[in-house]
Structure 1
Amino acid sequence: MPQGKPYAGTIRKLVLGIDIGTTYSGVSYCILTPGEVPKVLSVTRFPGQEGENRLRDTKIPSILYYDGRGNVRAVGAEALVDDNTIMAEQEGWTLAEWFKLRLQPDGPQANGSSLARVLAHKSIINIYADYLTYLFRCAKVFISDQPIGRQVLESEANIDFVLSHPNGWGGDQQRQMRLAVIKAGLIPDTPDGHARVHFVTEGEASLHFCIANGLTEDVLEVDNHIMIVDAGGGTVDLSTYKVLRSSSVNVVESSAPDCLLHGSKFVNDRARVFLQETLEGSRFGKDDDINEMVKYFESNTKPTFRDPGKVSYIKFGGRDSTDVPHGIKKGVLSLPGVDIERLFEPSVTAIKGAIRAQARLATGRISRILLVGGFANSPYLRSRLQDFAESEGIPLFCPNSQTSKAAAEGSLWYHLDRSVSARIAKYTFGTSGCINFIPFLPDHMKRMEKAFVGIDGDVSLPNAFAPIVSRGTLVTEDQEFRVSMSHNSSSPDSRITLRIMSYKGAQERPRWVDEDTENFSTHCLVHAELGSKSYEQRVGMRGEYYTKEYKAVILFGLTEMKALISWESDGQEHRSPATLVFEGADA
C-alpha cells in the first residue's frame, strides 16, 4: 500500500511496530481504517517520564528489575525512579539490561561485552516476554485515549505486530522473538496467531522511515545507490539499496547487509574500564563511584562530546569529593578530550571499515549515506563519519526527523509499503544428503571407503552438498528456489525432514559438508507431511521399499524464510505447507 493510498481492507485493524533496542525501546502504531489513508504515529507517553519536558519522548530504557522470586518489580523509566532504585538496593533486586545482546548470533562475549547478571531461572525469552507485556500495556493506555483507539483495542484478534531486529539476525532469533510474543499473551500459539507477527531488519525499517519522512527526489533517482547506517545502542546496521523506481519507491539490495556490535553501549563499556584503570589507587575507584561516573558519562559527557582538544568533565559525589592527583576537584573528574576520543575510536574505526566494505561490494557507486539511530545523535560520531564520507567522495546526511524512532516507525512503513523487492543472499544455502556413487569421478573415488548400498540397492555417498542459492544472488520476495529430492524408506513415512545448510566459506561451489566443516552449519530443518498414500512401492536388491520423489520449494527473499513441499501426482502439482525449525546454529 504506497504512501498516500487509502487502506483497502474491509475491517479496521491496529498494527504495532515494536523496536526493542539494546539501551532504549519504542512503540509506534497505525490504525488501519477501510478507505482512509494510514498514519504512522509513535507512543509518546510512558510511566516515569511524565512532565512537560518528556511529553515528546518516544523511547524508554530497555531495563527491568526482578525481585528474588523472579517477579517483575519495575520496567523502563519507572526502574530509574528514586523510589525504585532505593528499594532495589535495599531488597536486592536484579537489574536486567542489555538483554537484547543475548540473542545475538555467536553471542556477545566474543565481542568484549560484559552483560549484566540476570536470575538463573529467567531465560532471555522470559525477559523479552516481560518487557513486551509492559510495552503493550503502555501502548494500549496511550492509544485508548482516542475514541477510535478504544474501539480497535476491543478486538485483540485484529492487532498485528511488526518487530524490528538487527541485520545480522535470522530465523532462530525470529523464532525466539515470536515465542516471547506468545508468552507475553499478545497472540495465541496457533498458526493464525503466528501470522500476526511480522519481522523487519533495522536496516530496512530505517530505509522506510527515511522514505516516509521525505527523502528528496535527487536521492531517490533511478539507479542511485543509497547506504543506510543505523547506529544504535548495541548494534550498527548497514544496508545498501539500488533505486529501481522513484515514484512509488521500489529498491533492491545492492550489497548484503552488515551488522556490527559497536553501538553506543560499547563506548560506555570502554569508559568503565578506562575509569577503573585511571582511578586505581584513588579512594574514588570503588564500584559505587565508578557506577555513578559511568551513568553521568552516558547521559551527559558522551552525548555532548565533540572536540578532542577540549577538556571533558564527569560529575559524581559531592563538593567534598576531591583527589587532585587523579584529576578530581569538588566532585568533578577532568579528562583530556583525547581520552574521550579513544573511547569512541574502536566504534568509529569499525563503522568506517564497514562503510568501505559495503561500498566495495555494491553493484554501483554509492550516491548518498544516510546516518540514523540514537548513536547518530552524537556530534562527535557524526563529525567523524562526515569527514570520512567526504574523503571517500560520498555525501553523508542525517535526516532532520527524530531518527531514534526510525526502527519503530520504519517497521510500520515497511509493513504498509514494502519498498524493498529483492534481497541479496548473505550465504550459500543448500541441502545435505546422499548422492549416487560414480566411479569415474575423481572426488567420488577419493571417498570410496564411505560408499554404502542404500535400501534401493544403489551405491551412494553421504555428506553431499546440493546448493539451492549461492551467496551474492539477488533474490526477489516471491522467487521460488526448488531442489529435487527423493525419500526412500522401509515403510511409507507420512512425514519427511529436510536439512537446510548454510556455507560461509570461500569456496564458490562447495560439494561436501565434511570439507571446510567450520564454515558449514545447519540453518534449519524443514518438516512436512506428504501422506503415506503418495509413496510408490518398489523392490530393490535388498528387498521391498517405498520411495517418493518431491521438490523442496524455498523462498529466501523474504525477511522471514518460508518453505513448502511439492510433488507430482496424476499429472498435477500438489503442495504441502512445511514447518521450519531453527536449531540456533547460525540462523
Structure 2
Amino acid sequence: MTNKALRVIAAIDFGTTFSGFAYAHISSKEIVVHEEWDDSIGQFKHPTTLKYDDSLNLISWGYPALAEKPSKKKISSGMRPAERFKLCLGEIGEDITFAPYLPVGLDYETAITDYIKKMSNLIKDTLKTRWSEVDFDTQVSIIMTIPAEFDCKAIRTLRECALKAELVKDKDTPNLKFIQEPEAAAIHCMKSLKEFNVRAGSTFMVVDCGGGTVDLTTRKLLPGRRLCEKTISKGGYCGGIFVDEEFIKFLGTKIGQSTINLIREKHYSQLQYMVQEFSRRVKIPFTGESKDFKPFDLDLEVVKQYIRGSHRDELEEKEWVVELKFEDVKKMFDPVVEKILGLIRQQLDEYNDYVSAILLVGGFSESKYLQARVKQEFKQRVKNISVPRNPITAIVKGAVQYGLKNDVIVTRVLKWTYGTDVVRKWEPDDPPNQRLPGDLLIEFSILAKRGDEVAVDDAVPRVFRPASILQSRIGFDIFITDKDDDVKFFDTHDINLLGKWAIDIPVTFSIRPILFILCFGELEIDASAFNFETGETYNTTFELDI
C-alpha cells in the first residue's frame, strides 16, 4: 500500500537512447508527462546523451549534446558525446555498432550518475513549481524503469548512482523502487483493455519497442484490475535505433567506411544531424508500401572534403547528392523487424495458449511498417493487434500508476534459478570429481526455479545446518543461473554470484538449525535468517559483488 507520508509519485524512464519522467500527486492521481527540455518543448523524451570537454567536465546533456546542423563552410569538431551507457548494466553480446560509447577516461557509472543528476535536478525543480510545500526527500516516491534483462546487480548499481546523483539521500531507501519496462507498460495498458476486448480472465501480450531494446511480457488480467505474469519477460537489442545504424551502413557504401569512422569520431554531431533528418523524413513515415514512399535526397557536399578515391569520383558526377530509394529503406528495416517478429513468435510459442491481444508500445511501435508486419504475421493467432494512444509514454505512465497502486501485480515469473552453496558429506553415488578433502563436496542447493510463477511477497523457506559443530559463521551466498533443469554442481552449468551474505552463530556443540527465507516481493530480493536456538533474526538485501 502507499506510504501515508508520501504525497507525490515520480517515475523515471531511463532509456538506452531517450529518457523521460512523469509524476502525479496521490490525491488527484493525474499523471503529467514532462515535455519541457533544454532547447525543446513538446517532446515527451530527451536523448540519453552527455557531452564532455577534454577534461571530462560535463558541458551539456540531451538534445544540445547530440546533434548540430552542419554548415557547408565549416564542420565543427569536438569530443564525441557519451551515449548508450545504460547498456553497460546488462549483456549486449557482440554487436559492435550498438556498443556503448564513453570518452576515454570516463567510466559508465560516472556517466549514469551524471545523467541521473541532470534528471534529478529537473524533477526537483518541476515538482517544486507544482507543489512548493512537498519535501522531495521524504514525500516523493521515485519509480525507475529497467529492461526485462536487468538483474539485481544492475539495480544495485542504479541505486549507487542515484545516491551519488543526490536523487535519494539513502541508497536503500524504500522511496526508490524499480519496475520492469514491459510490466509498467502492461499496467498502463490496463486502461485500454476494454476497447481491445480484453476482459478479466483473458491474457494479453505487451511488446515494448524502444529505441535500443524490445521487451515482451504476457499477462493475465484478473478481477479488480490486477495482473499475473504468465511467461518469463524477455527482450532483445532490436529497437528503432538499429534502423538508424542500417542507414549509417548505407551511407558508408556511398562515402566509404573510413569516412564514416572519421565523422563518427571527430564530427559526431553532424552525423547525428543526418540521422535525425533521415528519421524525421524517411524512417517515421515509412509504411512499407512503395506507393506511399517519397524519394529522399542526401546532400553530402558538407562531408566531401573527407571523401577519397572512387567514392569521391562517383559523388562528383552526382553533384554530391545520393537518392535514397524505397528498396534501400526497406533493407534497413527488415533485419530489425524480423528480430522483433522472432521475439513475439517465441513468446507466443512458450505460452502455448490463447492470447486475446498484442499491444505495441514504445517509440518504435509508431512505425507503420512494423505495425503492418506484426499484423500480417500474427493475425491468424491473435485477434486484436493494436497500438494504444501515445505509446511512447506507456512505460513512464505505467510506472507512476504502479507507484500509486503497487498491489496491481499479483504474480511474477522468475527469470533465473536461485540457489546457494551447501557443504555436505560426499556419498559413494556422487561424482568422483566433486569429492573434496575430508570427504566433503559443495553442491548447488536450489531455492527457486526459473519459470516458477511466484506471488508478490511470496517467501521461499529452507532450513540449513552448519557443516561442523565448531562452525561459528554460516554463509548464504546467493547464485543464479538461467537453467531450469536439475542443477547440482557449480562446474556443470553457467552459475553466477548474485550476492554474498553471512551470519555469526554461537558455538553450542549442537545441530543449530537456521531458517533461511528468500522473498521475491519486489524486483530486489530480500533475505532473512532465523536461529532456532537463540531466537535471533537477521535481514539483508545482499551486499552485491559488483
Q: Give the TM-score of the pair, scaled to structure 2.
A: 0.88
Amino acid aligned to 2:364: F
Give, in angstroms, the shift of residue 308 of structure 1.
5.0
Amino acid aligned to 1:119: P
Question: Which residue in the other structure is 2:86 paired with?
Answer: 100
Q: What is the CA deviation profile of residues 278-332 of structure 1, one whole-angstrom value per residue up to 9, with x for unaligned ones?
A: 4449999973686553342233321121135245414335699898956996665
Distance 2:204 2:230 in 1: 9
Question: Which residue in the other structure is 2:370 paired with?
Answer: 381
5+ residue gaps, structure 2? 305-310
Question: Which residue in the other structure is 2:218 paired with?
Answer: 240
Contact 1:24–1:61 (8 Å) recurs in 2: yes
Distance 2:427 2:303 in 1: 84
Change (3 A) 1:490 1:204: same
Distance 2:352 2:16 in 1: 32
Q: Give the TM-score of the pair, scaled to structure 1.
A: 0.82
Equivalent of residue 450 in structure 1, options 413, 416, 435 = 435
Question: Which residue in the other structure is 1:456 paired with?
Answer: none
Question: Which residue in the other structure is 1:157 paired with?
Answer: 138
Distance 2:215 2:386 in 1: 16
Most deviating of 556-565 and 420-429:
556-565
Contact 1:282–1:326 (8 Å) recurs in 2: no
Give, in angstroms, the shift of residue 112 of structure 1.
3.9
Q: What is the CA deviation profile of residues 148-182 of structure 1, one whole-angstrom value per residue up to 9, with x for unaligned ones?
A: x1111x45332221100101111011011111101
Q: What is the CA deviation profile of residues 496-554 of structure 1, one whole-angstrom value per residue up to 9, with x for unaligned ones?
A: 43222223246x22222222x3x3222x1242444x44x4236xxxxxxxx64212211
Question: Which residue in the other structure is 1:415 paired with?
Answer: 403
Equivalent of residue 240 in structure 2, options 234, 242, 264 = 264
Change (3 A) 1:111 1:483: farther
Distance 2:413 2:384 in 1: 24
Question: Which residue in the other structure is 2:540 paired with?
Answer: 578
Give, in angstroms, the shift of residue 98 of structure 1.
1.6
Change (3 A) 1:10 1:242: closer
Give, in angstroms, the shift of residue 449 of structure 1.
7.2
Question: Which residue in the other structure is 1:172 paired with?
Answer: 153
Distance 1:62 1:480 in 2: 37
Change (3 A) 1:118 1:162: same
Distance 2:13 2:353 in 1: 31
Distance 2:70 2:474 in 1: 53
Contact 2:196–2:384 (8 Å) recurs in 1: no
Question: Which residue in the other structure is 1:209 paired with?
Answer: 188
Give, in angstroms, the shift of residue 81 of structure 1.
7.4
Distance 2:426 2:56 in 1: 57
Question: Which residue in the other structure is 1:425 paired with?
Answer: 414
Distance 2:152 2:333 in 1: 32
Question: Which residue in the other structure is 1:477 paired with?
Answer: 456
Give, in angstroms, the shift of residue 92 of structure 1.
3.1
1:536 aligns with 2:508: yes
1:136 aligns with 2:108: no
Question: Which residue in the other structure is 1:460 paired with?
Answer: 440
Change (3 A) 1:548 1:326: farther
Contact 1:313–1:332 (8 Å) recurs in 2: no
Contact 2:465–2:513 (8 Å) recurs in 1: yes
Distance 1:388 1:276 in 2: 32
Q: What is the CA deviation profile of residues 116-155 of structure 1, one whole-angstrom value per residue up to 9, with x for unaligned ones?
A: 6423332211111111111122223333333xx1111x45
Give, in angstroms, the shift of residue 360 of structure 1.
1.4
Distance 1:391 1:487 in 2: 57
Distance 2:137 2:483 in 1: 46
Amino acid aligned to 1:536: T
Change (3 A) 1:84 1:563: farther
Give, in angstroms, the shift of residue 43 of structure 1.
1.5
Equivalent of residue 486 in structure 1, options 465, 470, 484 = 465
Question: Which residue in the other structure is 1:226 paired with?
Answer: 204
1:277 aligns with 2:253: yes
Equivalent of residue 186 in structure 1, options 167, 170, 173 = 167
Contact 2:513–2:533 (8 Å) recurs in 1: no
Equivalent of residue 125 in structure 1, options 98, 101, 109 = 109
Change (3 A) 1:266 1:217: closer
Give, in angstroms, the shift of residue 474 of structure 1.
0.7
Equivalent of residue 315 in structure 1, options 282, 286, 298 = 298
- State the secondary structure of the residue aligned to 1:353: helix
Determine what percentage of the aligned residue pairs are the same residue: 23
1:70 aligns with 2:72: no
Written as runs of structure 1 = structure 2, the 5 A alignment for 1:50-65 is 54=41, 56-65=42-51
- State the secondary structure of the residue aligned to 1:345: helix
5+ residue gaps, structure 1? 2-7, 454-458, 539-546
Give, in angstroms, the shift of residue 479 of structure 1.
1.2
Amino acid aligned to 2:369: Y
Change (3 A) 1:504 1:144: closer
Q: What is the CA deviation profile of residues 72-126 of structure 1, one whole-angstrom value per residue up to 9, with x for unaligned ones?
A: 101112335759999x98673341112222222x3x2523434364233322111
Question: Which residue in the other structure is 1:544 paired with?
Answer: none
Written as runs of structure 1 = structure 2, the 5 A alignment for 1:12-91 is 12-32=6-26, 36-49=27-40, 54=41, 56-80=42-66
- State the secondary structure of the residue aligned to 1:558: coil
Distance 1:343 1:91 in 2: 28
- State the secondary structure of the residue aligned to 2:397: helix
Question: Which residue in the other structure is 1:334 paired with?
Answer: 323
Contact 1:500–1:526 (8 Å) recurs in 2: yes
Written as runs of structure 1 = structure 2, the 5 A alignment for 1:396-407 is 396-400=385-389, 402-407=390-395
Change (3 A) 1:380 1:91: closer
Change (3 A) 1:300 1:448: closer
Distance 1:318 1:70 in 2: 32
